[in-house]
Amino acid sequence: MTILNLLFIVFLGILLFIAYFHISNYILDIYGNKTLKRYNIENSIRVIVFIAPAFIVLFVFILYPVFETIRLSFYDKFGREFVGLYNYKWAINDPEFRRSILNNLVWLLVVPTLSTFFGLVIANLADRIWWGSIAKSIIFMPMAISFVGAGVIWKFIYEYRGPENTQIGLLNAIIVSFGYEPQAWLTIPMWNNFFLMAIMIWIQTGLALVIFSAALRSIPKEMLEAARIDGASELKIFFSIIIPYLEQTILVIWTLITIIVLRIFDIIFAMTNGEWQTGVLANLMYDWMFRGGGDSGRGSVLAIVIMIGVIPILAWNLYKHRQEQKI
Amino acid sequence: MEFIQTQTGTKNLMKKFSLSSIFSQLLLLFFVIIWIIPTFGLFISSLRDKDLLAISGWWTSLTTTEVNEIYRMSGMESQIEEDGFFKIKGNLFKENSGKKIQSFGITSKKINEYNIGDVAIFKDKSEVFIDEDGNYEWRSKIEFKKKKGKRLFTTSLSPPAFTFENYREVLFKEGIGRAFVNTMAVALPSTLIPLIICSFFAYSLTWMKFYGRDTLLAIIIASLVVPLQMSLIPILTIYNDVGALFGVAAKSYPGVWMAHTGFGLASTTFLLRNFLKSLPNEMMEAAKVDGASHYDIFLRIIIPLSIPAFASIFILQFLWCWNDLLVGLVFLDQVPSEIILTAKLKELLGSRGENWEILTTGAFVSMTVPLFIFFALQRYFIRGLVAGSVKG
């Protein structure tokens, strides 16, 4: 496909949706203007016109797949024959699956916690320093770039050369300058997970930072002033006033990052492809989708395990929504 | 009055330089340095000469580096006869390399055997001189008979060398340029289509009355956190079936747009609805009394008022699509006319893992658009995130 063709279909694709809304509404406007009865019919058709595209997309791409994935998890690799709990039994006994679950749990424990913590500390520091907004911009910047881009950036930091060569990776250069042997960081089982998590923390701290920065403004200045006059140290203020005051925000950010981490795929796919015991559920699922022509049963089981991770958050969101509706 | 001002002035000054403030500043500086160094290193590396990049850390790029290299002299074709000798003359380096040779050798075992001004003698009795700029003269009493010249091992000091050569190579030879175009062709419609259909959807969820509205809203909120992994296999199956039915490719641009639209639909609708809910109801009522239809209200009132919200959502969704790997990997063929930047980078990580000039430059090219958006529209980006970007 040439670039010109591509440009054409991009243009056409967008135009199609604008045209749908414009033409259908234009016709309705003319039709409904005539009589009151027509006006009422027009109003009910209008609702359908407004909702239909989004609802169809929602149905095809979210609702139907959820049920279809659940169904497929009980079927064989081609989705034809019912096999009961076979795929689930396979998963429980599969060492790769157990490894992925374990890695996912460590990711979920470490990344949201540290990102939230760093975000809070940095937001608090930057709030009191005159060049704080520049600092915030810099720390926030990784949020804008892709996980794969971040992967390349950090792979360069972790780059390993044999001990006889000059190290061009920053981490090994530092280690060597202190007189230690260079290490192939990404291939050391267990520890390599933490080197991959560092990348995610590097990215997500920015998210925590901007949300905390906005929330910090809501703390009454008088309260902080009063504490300072009473001689409380900044550390004491941080732990006794700021953290309790921002409890809700901390929870929200922690949840947000948890959802992102739960389906983490790109970083591991780009850096190690799940080798050296770094695999997580999303990577294993991708593997099973395409390994040996694909196995939709096993892939679906893995997707469902990821889904189970978000169900508590989903329930909590719905509960909060209902509370809001009541008010 | 003046007195008070000076007093607060001194107080501020004291605040600026108090011990705890200095400590805070140092701590923040520490964080900033840790956070900026990785990206900075990538950027510097993408501008370095590729030979230097392969043998020295980017932090040495501003200083002169000692490099050991191997060069081959020209062969018999360039020989001339002069003063009773057969001579081959030439220069080892590329033009304007600025390198200064410190020492050289003729075998790989003793690469520092000779200094500048020494005459090195090969086994076949031919001799070679070299000056520090890399000009050599290789001479022999008998005619040179080999097509290839002999090897010279040099140790030279190389000045800092920055170049745009890597960018030219990556953009036009490695296919990153085309991948950039492809990514744009994926990201733009994948952002605009959900924005269009979700703005109507959010409008009807906020301002129209119909049966099942609350249920629909609850479904949207539940969909916010459904991981997109749940959808991959069923949608891929649908695409394959549709492709087989109509005899078209299962993986195509429209397919990716719709997938992105689907995955971005819940969050876009949710954010837009939260915004629309904050608009005053009286305005809509007044417009209705004046005989405006819902479409009139949408075009003439809602859109102009929603521009800032649109901007935030546009940026969030655009960056999401631009940076996505999984959707592009699953729903597009990995061929030059369809591959997106992130997938291309991942491919290069596998095939050109040692060519850091290609990887660093490629990564930086892929970051240009997000970084531009980040610096130009940071305000909208942050506003969108703070408004609650929850995305499965």
- Radius of gyration over every alpha carbon of chain B, rounded to an integer in angstroms: 32
Mean pLDDT of chain B: 81
Task: Report yes or no on B58 lying in a domain.
Answer: no
Tokens of B231: 């959808």
Q: Distance (Å, rounded) from C-alpha B265 to C-alpha A41? A: 28
pLDDT at B2 over 80: no
Domain parsing of chain A, residue ranges: 13-72, 103-275
Task: Give φ, ψ of B223 to 5 degrees.
Answer: -65, -20
Q: Which of B182, B346, B367 sits opposite A145 (nearest CB)?
A: B367
Is the per-residue pLDDT at A35 higher than 90?
no
Asked if pLDDT for residue B390 goes beyond 60, the answer is: no
Task: Indicate whether B155 and B174 sit together in one domain.
Answer: no
B4/A224: higher pLDDT: A224
Per-position DSSP letters for A235-303, written without gaps between them: HHHIIIIIHHHTHHHHHHHHHHHHHHHHT--HHHHHHTTTTTTT--HHHHHHHHHHGGG--HHHHHHHH
Q: Which residues of A touch B381 (CB under 8 A)?
A: 144
Chain A nearest C-alpha distance from B229 (Å): 6
Those of residues 356-385 in B touching chain A at CB distance below 8 A are: 356, 359-360, 362-363, 366-367, 370-371, 373-374, 378, 381-382, 385
Q: Are residues B135 and B187 in the same domain?
A: no
Distances (CA, A) of A284 to A96, A276, A291, A298: 8, 14, 10, 10
Residues B172 and B148 in one domain: no
Residue to substitute from B183, B195, B228, B230, interface A, most A β-carbons within 10 A: B230
**pLDDT digits 0-9 by tens, A131-180:** 888 888 888 888 888 898 898 889 888 888 877 777 778 888 888 888 88
Among A71-80, A110-119, A246-255, B142-151, the least confident range: B142-151
Distances (CA, A) of A294 to A71, A95, A286: 16, 19, 9
Quote the minimal CA–CA distance from A297 to chain B in Å: 10
Predicted confidence (pLDDT) at residue A46 exceeds the cutoff of 80: yes
Whether A182 has a pLDDT exceeding 90, the answer reads: no
Instruction: Give the best-scoring range by mean pLDDT among B87-91, B191-195, B221-225.
Output: B191-195
Residue A283 to residue B326: CA distance in whole angstroms: 10
DSSP A142: G
Domain boundary among the residues B108, B124, B159 is at B159
Question: What's the total number of domains in chain B?
Answer: 3
Q: Is the pLDDT of residue A238 over 70?
A: yes
Determine the pLDDT at residue B96. 66
In a domain, B54, yes or no: no
User: With an 8 Å Cβ cutoff, are B374 and A310 in contact?
Assistant: no
pLDDT above 90 for B261: yes
Verify whether the Cβ–Cβ distance A50 to B203 is below 8 Å.
yes
Q: What is the pLDDT of residue B8?
A: 52
φ, ψ (nearest 5 deg) of residue B135: -75, 130
- B55: nearest CA partner in chain A: A166
pLDDT tier at A198, thresholds 50, 70, 90 = very high
pLDDT above 70 (res B3)? no
Distance from CA of B166 to the nearest CA of A (A): 16
Q: Is residue B55 part of a domain?
A: no
Lowest mean pLDDT among A63-67, B278-282, B326-330: B278-282
Percent of chain A with pLDDT over 90: 11
Q: What is the pLDDT of residue B389?
A: 43
* Contact yes or no for B232/A303 (Cβ under 8 A): yes
- One domain for residues B153 and B272: no
pLDDT at B14: 54
d(CA B151, CA B110) in angstroms, rounded, equals 13
Residue B239 sits in the same domain as residue B271? yes
Same domain (yes/no): B91, B120: yes
List pLDDT tens digits, range B354-382: 778 788 888 888 888 988 888 888 888 77
> For residues B265 and B191, is the Cβ–Cβ distance under 8 A?
no
Q: What is the mean pLDDT of residues B146-166?
A: 77
B380 and B335 in a common domain: yes
Same domain, B227 and B114: no
Contact A14 B220 (CB under 8 A): no
- Considering the domain boundaries, does residue B232 fall inside one? yes
What pLDDT score does B12 carry? 56
Out of A79, A128, A318, closest to residue B222 by CB: A318
pLDDT value of residue B191: 92
Say whether both B127 and B192 belong to one domain.
no
3-state secondary structure of B104: strand
Residue B252 is part of which domain span? 168-386
- Helix, strand or coil for residue B2? helix
Percent of chain B with pLDDT over 70: 93
Same domain, yes or no: B37 and B177: no
Q: How far apart are alpha carbons A239 and A105 in whole angstroms?
A: 27
CA distance A73 to A85: 8
More confident residue, B380 or A98: A98
A314 chain-B contacts, CB cut-off 8 A: 222, 224-226
Cβ-contact B317, B191 below 8 angstroms: yes
Per residue in B317-328, pLDDT (tens digit) is 998 899 999 898
Nearest to B16 by CA among A220, A118, A122, A131: A131
β-strand partners of B65: B158
The two structure tokens encoding residue B379: 């305000």
Contact B229 A7 (CB under 8 A): no
The position carrying tokens 């280690």 is: A175
Mean pLDDT along residues B37-65: 78
Q: What is the pLDDT of residue A49?
A: 85
Higher-confidence position of B147 and A268:
A268
Band of pLDDT at residue B4, cut at 50, 70 and 90 = very low
Asked whether the beta carbons of residue B218 and residue A156 sit closer than 8 angstroms, the reply is no
pLDDT value at A226 more than 50? yes
On whether the CB atoms of residues A158 and A246 are closer than 8 A, the answer is no
Name the CATH code of domain A103-275 (choices 1.25.40.80, 1.10.3720.10, 3.40.50.300, 3.30.1380.10): 1.10.3720.10
Question: Which tokens hold the place of B170?
Answer: 């990556």
Q: Would B59 be classed as within a structural domain? A: no
B128 three-class SS:
strand
- Residue B6: is its pLDDT beyond 70? no
pLDDT at A202 over 90: yes
- Decide if A73 contacts A88 (C-beta within 8 A): yes
Residue A209: pLDDT above 60?
Answer: yes
> What would the pLDDT profile of B17-49 be if each residue is shown by its tens digit?
566 778 888 888 999 998 998 888 888 888 887
Cβ within 8 Å, pair A46-B324? no
Percent of chain B with pLDDT over 90: 8
Confidence band of A37 (pLDDT split at 50, 70, 90): confident
* pLDDT number for residue A64: 92
Q: Categorize the per-residue pLDDT at B391 as very low, low, confident or very high, splitting at 50, 70 and 90.
A: very low
Q: Are residues B280 and B354 in the same domain?
A: yes
Q: How far, in Å, CA of A128 to CA of B22, rounded?
A: 11
Cα separation, A155 vs A196, in Å, equals 9
Q: Does A317 touch chain B (CB under 8 A)?
A: yes
Amino acid B362: pLDDT: 85
B91 within a domain of the structure (yes/no): yes
A279-318 pLDDT per residue, tens: 888 888 888 888 767 788 888 888 888 888 888 888 887 8
- Tell me the pLDDT band of B392, cut-offs 50, 70 and 90: very low
Mean pLDDT of A317-326: 80
Would you state the pLDDT for residue B279? 82
Q: Are residues B290 and B358 in the same domain?
A: yes
